[in-house]
Chains A and B, each alone.
Chain A
Amino acid sequence: MATIRFSIYRYNPEADAKPYMQDYEIELGPKDIKLLDVINKLKAMDDTLSFRRSCREGICGSDAMNINGKNGLACITNVADLSQPVTLRPLPGLPVIRDLIVDMTQFFKQYHSIKPYVINDSPRPERERLQSPEQRKELDGLYECILCACCSTSCPSFWWNPDKFVGPAGLLAAYRFIADTRDEATSERLDNLEDPYRLFRCHTIMNCVDVCPKHLNPTRAIGKIKDLMVKRAI
């Protein structure tokens, strides 16, 4: 069986004056395929190692972390594909609570700021609001976001202005509602983003697209919002 080496960011505010990297070595068993399988095993050896996890299938967005320099989900990352020592750090740019656990308040604040819900004040019909398959297709690549924050925490603009720039995840969500034929608040939504920071801090660096574990494309969504802004201006 192969042995694998890790270097993991450790920080416990109660005990450590500052963060440090800790080395681990572990034997891989036949069932240790995903990175999450292996860090669970590390935790069984050292129960102070702290990280979030839940679904173990890439759908809940809990276990986003920086893996060998790139943000991703531990549960869908193959250990065998990683170069050693496998270096794990918390998502960059957010305050660290402990080890690999970051404080995501700012990230969710930005998500909430775009009013992430369908706004439609017309009287509710008795049955479903109709939407053609083509109209519904407009939501593909948008609604699947799992709010893992891999994108926003790889975005330099978000690092510098997490309180002012909505960030790729929030902007993807903004466009998800603009693109929904059931939503009636497009112009209100554009007003909400018409600001030197909220939308326009995106400089199309594309880190976000590169890391999204759900293969979504926030940059394209951002581009579409910008197009709408331009169209509206003329």
Chain B
Amino acid sequence: MGVPVRRFDAVIVGGGGAGLRAALQLSESGLKTAVLSKVFPTRSHTVAAQGGISASLGNVQEDHWEWHMYDTVKGSDWLGDQDAIEYMCRKAPEAVIELEHFGMPFDRLENGKIYQRPFGGHTQHNGKTPVQRACAAADRTGHAMLHTLYQRNVRANTQFFVEWMALDLIRDADGDVVGVTALEMETGEIYIFHAKAVLFATGGAGRIYSASTNAFINTGDGLGMAVRAGLPLEDMEFWQFHPTGVAGAGVLITEGVRGEGGILLNADGERFMERYAPNLKDLAPRDFVSRSMELEVLEGRGCGPHKDYVLLKLDHLGPDIINQRLPGIREIAIKFAGVDPIKDPIPVIPTCHYMMGGIPTNWRGEVVMPKGGDPESRVNGFYAAGECACASVHGANRLGTNSLLDLVVFGKSAGDHMIDYIRGEMPDWKPLPADAAGPSLARIARLDNQTGGEDVAEVRAAMQRTVQSRAGVFRNAANMALGVEEIAAVAERAKFTQIKDKSKVFNTARTEALELDNLIEIAVATLVAADGRKESRGAHAHDDFPHRDDENWMKHSLFFGEGRRMEYKPVHTRPLTVDYIPPKERTF
């Protein structure tokens, strides 16, 4: 029984911000392009982004992309690649202006320009004082951006395959990428998408943790597919814990709240961030604020009956600012925390939020891997952008508002380089390998035939508990070593999950089982990579090695699925046009 094949010049997997920005380049270029998304594009998790998108427009205060670059390098704790960081920060103003021209409904200043608010870690004069760099549409910036990009794609007649889930990456004998397999969810049929170039823009994987700001669909499918196809994952030990997830619910309260003047209080009513970060206070970078909050709780100054959260106070901003600039936050606080922030503070805890690691790429969006002595040899035909990619601009800790920027800058860059590649190097399709759909069909058949296995929900919960307890805000060697063992055991169990629903039409039990395969790869990568890194850097806070060790550890980690082994590769210290920013101690 042959699997039907559909042919496109380019296939994009993902209809979030990164996928849609890339799609626009490709559709407008006239190349035959398919965009696959497992949800209708505007349901992608970019829609949930709240606070803003960074660009040194200087609409409120003096600003320069070089300052933005400095902040991003420092925020990354010197693990970010300085060529990619330069590229992103230099392109930021034009990328945001372009979004405005596309129709994005940014808030405005009195003079009609785009409104900008302060955000953690963004400063003037390389760390001196906070700067208003986050371009915002109220606290719905992601929604405004995603809908605008979707609308622009409607204009460009982009061909979408909505509710099609990509299952596996197809590589030929040379290791080149020639397509993907995908499941049409409505019918349950499997297809092969044969392409000259494939872009992954599949987003994050926060669902490896039990408490996360991420949507249910954030299961890191692109990373799972990459690992199964023999490609490495970069810097997977670095997960960002956002300081202000609603305690108990996990739903995010944007850092923009603190940008607008909100403050964190402990049980004594003390504004404790003044003690940890005398300069930036509540607007220090996220890794730093999250650790400070955890310390407050560990030292007994947490709030509530179990002393396990801190409070985010914003009533002093007054109802006008709250209703105008933070209306969505007020709604979330009322719905998910049961408090109206106009009157009462919101209980918050650090919550898993963002994956700094991902599929290794360069600033062109090309996926790279070690080959024949070159640590960054191009994987022909394969591109990645957005949260699933590691360019690496965020290094060991991402600055708020730099992700939305990453999506549009690298989405566009990847799109442009795909066009060049397809037009310049690929007059024709490379043949599909024999049995290209074999591995996907085997996964489906396994689920159809499995009896007596564990439920998907049960194994998923076991995975989440392991990652949550072994790879949290503070880590230590003994705990991570246990985590590596435990996750290996959970991964074994995942091979035998059982679903009772064996039907074909929109079988969500099946898609959840297939998603679990991806989550497990990422959970394993996270623990193995975390266990491997013997220093503290950015989001990786190692109790047994409390300091950053640039001599031995200023390098990217690479996790390989086969043998679950680690390799390392150098950080790019050479920017494209400006001087190298050498490492310094990170204080705020």
Could you tell me which A residues sit within 8 Å of B by CB distance? Answer: 12-15, 31, 43-44, 46-48, 50-62, 76, 97-98, 101, 104, 108, 112, 115-118, 120, 124, 126-133, 135-136, 139, 143-144, 146-147, 177, 180, 182-183
Contact = CB atoms under 8 A, between A and B. Distances in A.
Given A48-B509, A98-B505, A117-B102, 9 more contacts: A14-B503, A47-B499, A54-B43, A55-B216, A56-B251, A59-B48, A117-B103, A128-B101, A131-B108
A50 B506 contact: yes
A54 B332 contact: no
Interface string B491-524: 0000000011101111111001000000000000
Given A14-B503, A47-B501, A139-B105, A132 B215 contact: no
Contacts of A131: 108, 112
A129 B215 CA distance: 34
Contact of A55 (B47, B155, B506): B47
Contacts of A182: 103
Given A13-B505, A14-B504, A15-B503, A130 B112 contact: yes
A116 B105 contact: no
Given A58-B335, A104-B40, A136 B108 contact: yes
Contact of B114 (A52, A76, A115, A128): A128
A57 B144 contact: no
A127 B97 contact: yes
Contacts of A56: 215-216, 251
Contacts of B217: 54
A124 B108 contact: no
B154 A112 contact: yes
Given A101-B506, A128-B114, A143 B105 contact: yes
B143 interface: yes
B108 A133 contact: yes
Nearest to B96: A128
A36 B107 CA distance: 32
Contacts of B335: 58, 76
B109 A48 contact: no
Instruction: Decide if the interface of chain A is mainly helix, strand, loop or mixed.
Output: loop
Nearest to B135: A128
B97 A48 contact: no
A104 B102 CA distance: 26
A136 B457 CA distance: 45
Nearest to B114: A128
B108 A132 contact: yes
B573 interface: no
Given A117-B151, A118-B102, A60 B42 contact: yes
A143 B456 contact: no
B344 interface: no
B504 A132 contact: no
12 contacts: A14-B505, A47-B499, A59-B47, A60-B43, A60-B44, A60-B215, A98-B505, A130-B108, A133-B110, A143-B137, A143-B147, A144-B140
B204 to A, nearest CB: 13
Contacts of B110: 132-133
- Counting from the closest, the 10 A-B pairs by CB-CB distance are A118-B103, A130-B112, A47-B509, A117-B151, A60-B43, A48-B501, A44-B457, A128-B100, A54-B215, A117-B155
